[in-house]
Amino acid sequence: MPTPHQASGPGNRAAYIPFFVNNVDCPLDVQLSAGASCHVQVGFGPTIAGNYSGQFAILDNEPDLRHPIGVSGTANPIPVAPAGSGINHL
């Protein structure tokens, strides 16, 4: 199963991980046979603007072997209308 095992972001907030596994198209309780494939969809949902990077690890039946997959994303600040502009943001 893919699991996040390290990430970094603004201010080195290592404990804040904005990446998540959104969808996996193979059974997580069964090992894939040699040559088989599995698709993993990773989402990015930051709440703080900045640049983020991290890794997910795919584990298999080989003891102590991880297959790291790097991910990265940039969260831009939400624009704010100037006071008195008459523009309301929900």
Average pLDDT, the chain: 75
pLDDT digits (tens, 9 = 90+) for 37-77: 888 888 999 888 889 988 887 777 777 777 788 899 999 98
Per-residue model confidence (pLDDT) at position 89 = 55
The residue extents of the domains of the chain are 3-75
- The answer to whether the beta carbons of residues 73 and 18 sit under 8 Å apart is yes
Beta bridge partners of 75: 50
Per-residue model confidence (pLDDT) at position 72 = 92
pLDDT band with cut points at 50, 70 and 90 for residue 4: very low
